[in-house]
Structure 1
Amino acid sequence: MGQEDKFAFVEAFLEGRSRQQTRRSLQGVVPLDAVHVQKQGKTLVNFSANDYLGLSKHPVLIAAAQDYTQRYGTGATASRLVTGSFDIHQQLEAALAADCGREAALLFNSGFQANVTVLGALLDRHALVLCDRLVHSSLLNGALASRATLTRYRHNDHEHLESLLRQAVNQRYSRVVIVSETVFSMDGDRADVDRLVHLAQTYGAILYLDEAHAIGVLGAGGMGLAMGNPGVDLAMGTLGKAFGAFGAFLVCSARLRDYLINACPGFIYTTALPPSVIGAIAAALKLMPSLEGDRQRLTRHAETLRNQLRAAGFDTGPSSTHIIPIMLGEAERALSLAQWLETQGILAAAIRPPTVPQGTARLRLALSSQHTRQHLGSLIGALRNGHGQRH
């Protein structure tokens, strides 16, 4: 193979993505506030970020990040098991566990890292992992990397899941793990947590739930749909969405926490989160009880927008949360409508395969409590005009 041929696979891959209109590229923006960005000199209302409560620009979080940096420096400089476990990391974990009503919590550097590495530690090649068909890529990557037997049950189909659990009873699996999101990141619908708990307990399975898009927004005090449920063995929440910061955390039993500290490579072998991030998270956690009005406003925004979109003839899928897809089918339609919206001052990203299944390309609208009725009205008006021009 000649020098010019060794990266032929790269060109072939990119050309294939271009033909299918699924090739991605990075688009730089400058955040102006919680719901506005500047892109190529133009100010846009952002309906694509996950800053559900607008906390990324909150002065209390910014002040806490600055304070922790001043006191502790810019980096943790080591892994948690060496010298990177500062008192502030331990205090935050204790506070997260207490606010979720659980025995223990453990910080991770991102939701993707947590899902991949925790599942890797829970599973082995003799295990069975049952994943909802629409779970996030990070969960599938963790399951596949573990070499466990992976079976994907039909989305939110508990009868299908139970049939798979029943079949597993007489098999010699080392363990069975059920994996789901509580709010699905692309469709905006919810899992039935109580039903999943019941099935896990009935069949002796471990239940792992991803709360990335619920934490901060849904549940008592905004602490998610599963975090405080003792029947959920492990629940993961991200801190870069509604919490406005970065990182992730897991709640579980103290015994499971101790196991992961000793058996989870992604935790053991990575530098701890920097002090500024810990400060921002700690500040957001203290604010959470006071943000009920913001959460209610976000819920009202979502209900209003879904109703208006449906009245205008758009398909919003099964959404029941602050994530609202506009189902368009083909990638070209999604790209075209996203481009039209940008000309109208609105940023709404087109989501295409392989992120979503073939034939389900969409615009994914992610609402913030900081959006206004005027923002929603502008979005609806632009969508109606853009939709009309394309039919």
Structure 2
Amino acid sequence: MSDKFYSRLDQELAGIKDAGLWKVERPFSTPQGPIVRVGDGPELLNLCANNYLGLANDSEVVAAAEEANRRWGAGLASVRFICGTQDIHKELEAETAAYFGYEDAILFAAAFDANGAVFEPLFGPDDAIISDTLNHASIIDGVRLSKARRYRYATNDMGDLERALTEAKAEGACQIVIVTDGVFSMDGTIANLGAITALAKRFDALTLVDDCHASGFLGPQGRGSAAYRGVEGQIDILTGTYGKALGGAMGGFVAAKRQVVDLLRQRARPYLFSNALAPSICGASLAAIRIARSERGDLLRAQLAENSARFRDGLEHLGYDLIPGEHPIIPIMLYDAHKAQALAAALYEAGVYVTPFSFPVVPRDLARIRVQMSAALTPAHIDRALDAFASAGRKLEIIA
């Protein structure tokens, strides 16, 4: 035992707390939904889940998970290529590929693993990866595993992207891939995929989009950011998740041309060395995709859009500083970590569950509360939340 090592950890943990950056986990005693309870406490209005379509505890989704569990068992106790593939895995891959318009798809235990797996097998030392500066941490870590040359461009800045493309081309890159989040999760900003795909065509580059915060609810039938921007069929590689709008459980995917997926099956380390996705999650995800593609999905998306507009308008009327946008992610800017924690605590006491975000999740001077709307919220829920934001904000002198 090294006392010096543990003393260093104690100092680092104390520093996190002193800076107002400590993250608290509150165990729910209820399923995920618009109303939750922490332990034996009172009911809370939940405004910080990725449960965009409200399917995390949907009866149809839960029933599909239970049926898959009964039919296929609790798990495979194996990776896919040994003895860990069942018909339901292939069915989910086919359904995912068809939904988003690709030849094939491959499943991963988590969306983080999908982004961690995709770069190293596909891009080598002679290639170039050009990544948006606000891309998700999983993309950043995945790019680090590749031997490809790395370039970055300022978020959604097409002039800077063209600069990086020109530089990579001039330095002799064999294959260039432009990588972006479809929706930037802390800001709710939707990537300018029209301009990105146009630049990709000019420079003979591939495009890779992480659509975790778009799949299931953005664009026609919820087909994601490419559908929303009108460039379906022009994104070469799509990564996404079943852990947000599409059921809320876990699991990720990569969708692409068959050759890409075939190579990932042979070389992607998180796929080769992780257990197969549990059958119950596959069943739930299949049900969620089918709901998202249906008329019921259209109704849920309409409710989500209405909730987002109603809440955003209400916060702006109260005087909160918001990042502009049309996405269900609504960032309320506080800029100071202690202030963000204080507002979150006051809202919690008022029966509204939100989470403060500060460094290292966002830059030090851009602390915020990120509110996320759900189709499961009612107009009464929205009005109740706005009342709580009004009283808590005035009490803390954040708004007048």
2:269 is aligned with 1:269: no
Render the CA deviation track for 1:102-129: whole Å, top value 9, x for unaligned: 1111111111111111123233344332
Partner of 1:367: 373
Deviation at 1:27, TM superposition (A): 2.0
Q: What amino acid is the match of 2:241?
A: T
TM-score, with normalisation over the residues of structure 1? 0.96
Q: 1:221 to 1:386 in 2, by over 3 A?
A: same
How many residues were matched structurally? 390
2:66 is aligned with 1:60: no
User: Structure 2 CA distance, aligned partners of 1:107 and 1:301?
Assistant: 32
Render the CA deviation track for 1:272-320: whole Å, top value 9, x for unaligned: 1011111111111221223101101101111121111111111111332
Q: Equivalent of 1:259, from 263, 281, 294?
A: 263
2:326 is aligned with 1:320: yes
User: Structure 2 CA distance, aligned partners of 1:330 and 1:121?
Assistant: 41
Structure 2 stretches lacking a partner, 5+ long: none
Q: What amino acid is the match of 1:259?
A: L
**SS at 1:169 equivalent:** helix
Let me know the Cα RMSD of the aligned residues. Answer: 1.6
Q: 1:249 to 1:372 in 2, by over 3 A?
A: same
Partner of 1:69: 69
2:190 is aligned with 1:186: no
Partner of 2:29: 30
Structure 1 stretches lacking a partner, 5+ long: none
User: Structure 1 CA distance, aligned partners of 2:270 and 2:2?
Assistant: 35
Partner of 1:246: 250
Q: What amino acid is the match of 1:274?
A: A
Is the Cα contact below 8 Å between 2:152 and 2:164 reproduced in 1? no
Partner of 1:232: 235
Q: What amino acid is the match of 2:239?
A: M
Q: Mean Cα displacement is larger for which, 344-353 or 124-133?
A: 124-133
Deviation at 1:101, TM superposition (A): 2.0
**Equivalence map 1:241-390=2 (5 Å):** 241-244=244-247, 245-288=249-292, 289-290=294-295, 291-390=297-396
Render the CA deviation track for 1:53-84: whole Å, top value 9, x for unaligned: 11111111111111111111100221111111
Is the Cα contact below 8 Å between 1:331 and 1:361 reproduced in 2? yes
**SS at 2:71 equivalent:** helix
Partner of 1:5: 4
Deviation at 1:31, TM superposition (A): 2.9
Partner of 1:85: 85
User: Structure 2 CA distance, aligned partners of 1:101 and 1:129?
Assistant: 24
User: Structure 2 CA distance, aligned partners of 1:196 and 1:28?
Assistant: 41
Q: What amino acid is the match of 1:348?
A: V
User: Structure 2 CA distance, aligned partners of 1:222 and 1:361?
Assistant: 30
User: Structure 1 CA distance, aligned partners of 2:43 and 2:270?
Assistant: 39
Q: Mean Cα displacement is larger for which, 342-351 or 263-272?
A: 263-272
The share of aligned pairs that are identical, in percent, is 32
Render the CA deviation track for 1:179-200: whole Å, top value 9, x for unaligned: 1111111111101112111111
TM-score, with normalisation over the residues of structure 2? 0.94
